[in-house]
């Protein structure tokens, strides 16, 4: 099967993307890789099973790819990831179109499993799981070459009542620092300039291996790697932020003054029902600390509305928090009642209409906050990493923007620029989430 083409459809989060890139790395030598599933002889769907919308998207995608067996070149359909790990037995019965089904820990043998299937033509269902290992290996980067994600931990010990991830991905475990640094150096040597640190919970990095949190040490070591210019931190729980981490972000020029804090709510009652290990007072204290010690820090968060028992008073408290604290980047999600979680069995479940209404209302609040924040950026100059061209404008991101979720900077330039260039842009106009400007040296002419 060495001449066959392999295509992968990666769904869900950036942790899933890393898994997909590791899988592609397995095919680098003996297979041809295509980003067009219509051309692929082997199609892999790396699924997400986190919330209902993601599950439905995964199922729809598998069914769509199954049709490629009749319409195009597909001879072998593989499903992997969180949905298969969570619902493998059900999918085996409901979706006979799947030839090979793997869980979240079986990627290291995917090339051998395919070879065995080619020889024996027997369906493979392999959903083994270990919460002691972490998927690692040579990757084929699917982001723009100047940006890459790097997983520093796997699993989660928080057991929030709404979340199924610990049951899918297992207990929290850190990658050893040497492994992370080795991979980061290889990425930098291949042209990566922006490194984004991810895990289900990055803030606890090192506790299991070294007996104490080592995230600040890891970030310092990463900043010493030649070629890396931006280091971005995601999924950092507020209750685990310590003084060492704050100081490292504040003092290290390579670390983006940007931090992702998954808060989810601000009402103490709802936080307790969610099983969060923090309080409103602690969250507000951490936000104040970050803003005091890291001038102009960008804080991103995610919020859940419509959690069981959320009253109008709780929701108003959340709205007032956004209006007062004016967080820079906010994602809002309606609560999804996920089977197998404690929250799914709670009383006072809210109807979908109420959840959707609150989601839209909160996003309108944040839209105004974001626009007001952006208006104050007119005349400021930012380093921007170039990502492409749309019409007569280049577009890219500054340190305030993570890929795909935080907007873009659009700007004009009389010079021809290449993807991955980092140039200075003066902001001349703002929108709710995007910025517009001109290359700085041209604005001075």
What is the signed CA dihedral for 188, 405, 395, 193, rounded to 10 degrees? -10
Q: Would you list the DSSP string of 122-170?
A: --EEE----SS----S-----S-TTEEEEE-EE--S---TT--HHHHH-
Cβ atoms within 10 Å, residue 122: 9
Please report how many Cα atoms fall inside a 13 Å half-sphere around the Cα of residue 178, on the Cβ side. 2
Does 74 show up as a binding residue in the annotation? Answer: no
Distances (CA, A) of 152 to 20, 130, 172, 189: 16, 17, 11, 19
Does 256 show up as a binding residue in the annotation? Answer: no
Distances (CA, A) of 118 to 30, 123, 404: 14, 10, 38
Residue whose C-alpha is closest to residue 174's, from 203, 197, 149, 154: 154
Residues in contact with 211: Cβ distance below 8 Å, sequence separation at least 6, in sequence order: none
Residue whose C-alpha is closest to residue 233's, from 317, 290, 272, 303: 290
H or E element, residue 299 = strand 298-305
Tokens 């080795």 belong to 182
Does 156 show up as a binding residue in the annotation? Answer: yes
Distances (CA, A) of 415 to 258, 394, 426, 442: 30, 11, 15, 9
What is the radius of gyration, based on Cα positions, of the chain?
23
Does 160 show up as a binding residue in the annotation? Answer: yes
Tokens of 78: 């593989």
Residue whose C-alpha is closest to residue 88's, from 268, 328, 79, 317: 79
| Residue ranges of the binding site for [4Fe-4S] cluster | 13, 48, 82, 156, 160, 163
| Residue ranges of the binding site | 13, 48, 82, 156, 160, 163
């Amino acid at each position: 099967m060495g001449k066959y083409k392999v295509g992968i459809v990666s769904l869900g989060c950036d942790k899933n993307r890393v898994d997909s890139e590791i899988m592609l790395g397995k095919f680098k030598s003996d297979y041809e890789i295509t980003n067009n599933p219509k051309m692929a002889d082997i199609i892999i769907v790396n699924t997400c099973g986190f919330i209902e919308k993601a599950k439905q998207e995964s199922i729809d995608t598998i069914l769509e790819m199954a049709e490629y067996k009749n319409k195009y070149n597909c001879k072998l359909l593989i499903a992997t990831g969180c949905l298969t790990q969570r619902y493998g037995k059900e999918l085996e019965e409901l979706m006979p179109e799947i030839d090979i089904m793997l869980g979240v820990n079986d990627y290291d043998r995917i090339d051998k499993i395919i070879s065995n299937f080619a020889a024996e033509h027997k369906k493979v269902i392999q959903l083994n799981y270990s919460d002691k290992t972490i998927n690692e290996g040579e990757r084929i980067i699917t982001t723009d070459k100047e940006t890459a994600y790097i997983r520093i931990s796997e699993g989660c010990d928080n057991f929030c009542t709404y979340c199924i991830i610990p049951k899918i991905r297992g207990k929290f475990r850190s990658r050893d620092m040497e492994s992370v640094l080795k991979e980061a150096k290889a990425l930098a040597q291949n042209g990566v300039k922006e490194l984004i640190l991810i895990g289900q919970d990055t803030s606890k990095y090192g506790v299991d291996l070294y007996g104490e949190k080592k995230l600040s040490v890891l970030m310092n070591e990463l900043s010493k790697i030649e070629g890396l210019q931006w280091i971005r931190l995601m999924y950092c729980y507020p209750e685990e932020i310590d003084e060492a981490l704050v100081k490292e972000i504040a003092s290290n020029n390579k670390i983006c003054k940007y931090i992702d804090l998954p808060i989810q709510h601000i009402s103490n009652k709802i936080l307790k029902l969610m099983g969060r290990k923090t309080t409103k007072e602690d969250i507000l204290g951490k936000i104040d600390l970050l803003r005091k010690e890291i001038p102009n820090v960008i804080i991103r968060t995610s919020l859940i509305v419509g959690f069981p028992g959320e009253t109008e008073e709780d929701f108003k408290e959340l709205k007032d928090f956004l209006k007062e604290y004016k967080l820079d980047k906010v994602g809002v999600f309606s609560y999804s009642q996920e089977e197998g979680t404690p929250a799914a069995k709670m009383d006072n479940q809210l109807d979908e209409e109420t959840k959707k209404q609150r989601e839209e209302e909160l996003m309108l609040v944040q839209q105004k906050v974001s626009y007001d924040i952006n208006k104050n950026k007119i005349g400021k100059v930012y380093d921007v990493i170039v990502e492409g061209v749309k019409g007569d404008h280049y577009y890219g991101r500054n340190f305030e923007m993570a890929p795909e979720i935080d907007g873009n900077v659009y700007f004009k330039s009389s010079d021809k620029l290449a993807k991955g260039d980092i140039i200075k842009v003066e902001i001349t106009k703002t929108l709710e989430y995007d910025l517009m400007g001109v290359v700085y040296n041209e604005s001075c002419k």
